[in-house]
Amino acid sequence: MEKLMNPASASEKAPENFKVRFKTTKGDFLVEVTRAWSPLGADRFYNLVKAGYFTDIAFFRVISGFMAQFGIHGDPAVSAKWREARIADDPVVQSNLKGYVSYAMAGPDTRTTQFFINYADNSRLDGSGFSPFGRVASGMEVVESLYSGYGEGAPSGQGPEQGRIQMQGNAYLKAAFPNLDYITGASLE
């Protein structure tokens, strides 16, 4: 828990290639990371996995044919620590193709702990700076089976409001959006 509360301590350089197994409420999937595609992004992801960040993490924005987004911690105290722990952008050297994993962001140099897995060829995102760092190597059928019934997040849609997730965590999600799927754990392979 100590590393989760101190983002500055999560600063190891990731291996050039590594794999992460995600256990979810729908089954497992494996992400294969290539550090050369997005070095700063790969390093942050590696450190989050090592710190045990991905436990009880909701897929809170799942849009059929587009992507599945996750990464806001279910504990508001942990979210608060990571919300401002931004990393600089990496150049886009790999395209946002189906199964590729990128950081969600709110503009230049705003990447923190939110990620999305592309459900289709979303190469149109490349020009906006979304730099993939890995891809789903197995279990894409699990990713594609995640609950998508809530659609886009509020206020544009009926799904969860990200600000409320940050402030209220899983208590908000489990009460108001009971059908969401979750990551139950993640480990390096």
Cis peptide before 155 (omega within 30 of 0): yes
Instruction: Give the global pTM.
Output: 0.97
Phi/psi of residue 159, nearest 5 degrees: -80, 180
Range of the domain at 161: 3-188
CA-closest candidate to residue 188, choices 41, 45, 1, 72? 45
Residue numbers in the chain where pLDDT is lower than 70: 1
In this prediction, residue 2 carries a pLDDT of: 77
* 3-state secondary structure labels for all residues of 16-40: CEEEEEEEECCEEEEEEEEHHHCHH
CA-closest candidate to residue 2, choices 38, 51, 58? 51
Write out the H or E segment, with its range, that includes residue 102.
strand 100-103
Average pLDDT, the chain: 97
What 3-state class would DSSP assign to 149?
coil
The enclosing domain of 84 has a CATH number of: 2.40.100.10
In this prediction, residue 3 carries a pLDDT of: 81
The string of pLDDT tens digits covering residues 72-89 is 999 999 999 999 999 999
Q: For residue 137, how far is the Cα from the chain centroid?
A: 16
The string of pLDDT tens digits covering residues 11-31 is 999 999 999 999 999 999 999
In this prediction, residue 7 carries a pLDDT of: 95
Report the domain count for the chain.
1
